[in-house]
Amino acid sequence: MTGEKNTKYQIQQRTPIPYSITLSGGKQQDAYWYQLKNNAWVFGYYTEVKKAEKVPYQIFQNRLNQLIQFTNNNSKVRVERNDFRKLALAFGSTQESEPPLDLELLGEKYSHGLKGSTYEKEVGTFLRSIRFKPLTDAVEHRYNLPPGILLAMIMQESNGVAYLPNGTDDGGIGLCHMQPQIAQEFSLKTLDNNHEMVDYQHGKKLRGLVEDYTRGQLLHHLSLTDDRFDHLKNLDAAGRMMATYMAAGANPAFGGPLRSAVARYAGKRNYQQYWDNLKYYMKLLYDPAFIEMAEIQFNLSNPEFVVYEKIYSNGGQAERYLLLWWNYMESNFQLAQYKKLEAFRPENSDDVIATYKRYMIK
């Protein structure tokens, strides 16, 4: 229900950040949801709406914050190594099709990722990107990288939209976009053995492959054409890039080893914007209030979450969405085998692990 003007309510609690509701005429208005003493919820903007909304208490249960944790596990014995260009994976994706989901997620897909309001892009990017956390966790642990940084890179580069070519069709592809030349430098196979830094003809061919193969859910065949389509190989290469660049040490022009690694990764011209965006997304990933808001939004947008003919509702939708995707990542990318591979301690990585929150989150 919505709040009525000049009516006093006994409030128990409110949502941590505002939620957007559609008013008459299609106008969007942001306001908080408030829980009353009788456990009903009211929307805190006093105006006419198209339809009075009754929201069950369960949609506000804070379940995702219990699932989404970022910790650095140093229990594994680590090998000292500083250059990872030739350390390619001998195995990869076995996926053929993705889970059959029909969901409402904020943010409209287009050639450069997602578009919409800031709120829509933030929440939509987060909910799409967080699917890949089992992969990013495993890679970050293997190369002793700051927890969450690869996930923030996905949010920045592809908005979590799988198989998204660079918007300009310049030849880059992957959850973490990689140009053919860089991909080959870090031992990834590229379509037609392409080794150019920029190749628009190659980019258009990649986009055509994505359209053909994803339409038929032939994802394993797609990953065989180019390693950058394989999410684990792509992310492992991005992790190896960051580990190699971090081990190269600090560049006084950019700062410490983490900033310098990002500068080497993004390039001098793009560094400052890329660094600012990484910090922006890292703060979102570490913000319990934002994660709770994303969960609320998902449950409101998907009151009934149907998968394999089973219906989930009453507050478990977002949690089930994550667990479904995380199980999918575990079983379709041979993560159990990946986690048995030796782990590394690149030079400067322990210092970065000890200080990254100071520079990226606080």
How confident is the prediction along the chain (362 residues), in pLDDT tens digits per residue? 444 445 555 666 666 556 665 555 666 667 766 666 665 556 664 433 333 344 444 445 677 888 898 887 666 789 999 999 999 999 988 887 787 777 889 899 999 999 988 888 999 999 999 999 999 999 999 999 999 999 999 999 999 999 999 989 999 999 999 999 999 999 999 999 999 999 999 999 999 999 888 876 778 888 999 999 999 999 999 999 999 999 999 999 999 999 999 999 999 999 999 999 999 999 999 998 889 888 888 887 887 777 767 776 666 788 889 999 999 999 999 999 999 999 999 999 999 999 999 999 98
Assign residue 162 a region (left: φ > 0; alpha: ψ between -120 and 50; beta: otherwise).
beta
Residue 32's contacts (CB-CB under 8 Å, 6 or more residues apart) are 14, 15, 17, 18, 19, 43, 44
Q: What is the pLDDT of residue 25?
A: 60
Q: How far apart are CA 146 and CA 357, in angstroms?
A: 9
Q: What is the pLDDT of residue 278?
A: 97
Q: What is the pLDDT of residue 21?
A: 59
Q: Structural domain boundaries of the chain?
A: 11-55, 64-360
Considering only CA atoms, which of 198, 246, 207, 200 is closest in space to residue 225?
Answer: 207
DSSP state of 251: B
Q: What is the pLDDT of residue 349?
A: 95
75-100 per-residue burial string, b: 16 or more CB within 10 A, e: under 16: eeebeebbebeebbbeebbebeeeee
Q: What is the pLDDT of residue 51?
A: 37
Q: What is the pLDDT of residue 221?
A: 87
Q: What is the pLDDT of residue 56?
A: 46
CA–centroid distance for 143 within its chain: 19
Q: How far apart are CA 138 and CA 283, in angstroms?
A: 21
Looking at the chain, the number of H-run helices and the number of E-run strands are 14, 11
Q: What is the pLDDT of residue 227?
A: 96
DSSP state of 331: H
Q: What is the pLDDT of residue 247?
A: 97
* Cα-based distances in Å from 222 to 119, 208, 278, 317: 33, 11, 29, 30
Q: What is the pLDDT of residue 3?
A: 45
HSE (side-chain half, CA atoms, 13 Å) at 194: 24
Contact 49/22 with Cβ under 8 angstroms? Answer: yes
